[in-house]
Amino acid sequence: MTDVQTTVAAGVGVASMALSAGMQILSGGTTAIRVGGLGRGNGGGSAVGKLLGRLEMPRLHMAMFTTGGIGLAGTGLGKLLNQAVTWCNNCVAHLATQWLGLGISWLVSFGAVVVLLVDVRDDNCTLRTLLLCVALPFLLAAIPGPIGMYSAEVTAWIGSLVGGVVASLFGMK
């Protein structure tokens, strides 16, 4: 990705997450993330808040935060997230090698993706789910073999496509 595409993709990612949080603030009054999950508020004081409060949109918020994670992948924050995921996987692999005698360097990533898929299936969107959505590109890339390789390629392609489209719309390409 070019520098312009990377910058635009990061901007789209941050804007997507901010839009999701703003929608939740409007729908729930003052709290963006409630104990019961996202998208299930009783509506704020405005007409928009009441409309958004009636809609159940947890999967939309998951998609918006995943878009944010993809957009941030090429930035400094994305590099920090990638290092954190790699560190967690390495710690678990080291412990598994010591205790079991086999190295499972992808166990944390695989487990986190499974937890996220269960949350999507159950239509349960909590803070944990949103954080996993942001980290999803890095979690998928850490899985070894063709699954991780193709996941990383698709994630990079999506980020490049969105960044290129938005940059061309604003005449930056």
User: For residues 156 and 34, which has the higher predicted lDDT (pLDDT)?
Assistant: 156
Question: Global pTM?
Answer: 0.65
At 151, list the tokens: 């996941």
Q: What total number of domains does the chain contain?
A: 1
Q: Across residues 95-118, what is the average pLDDT?
A: 77
Q: How far apart are CA 154 and CA 143, in angstroms?
A: 14
Confidence of residue 46 (pLDDT cuts 50, 70, 90): low
Out of 15-29, 54-68, 127-141, give the one with best mean pLDDT: 127-141
Phi-psi region of 130 (alpha: psi -120 to 50; beta: other; left: phi over 0): alpha
Contacts (Cβ under 8 Å, ≥6 apart) of 123:
56, 58, 59
Q: For 53-106, write each residue's pLDDT tens digit.
A: 555 577 777 778 888 888 877 777 888 888 888 888 888 888 877 776 665 667
Domain that includes residue 99, residue range: 3-169
pLDDT recorded at residue 63: 79
| pLDDT: which is higher, 37 or 171 | 171
Please state the rounded mean pLDDT for residues 105-126. Answer: 83
Tell me the residue length of the chain. Answer: 173
Higher pLDDT, 112 or 51: 112
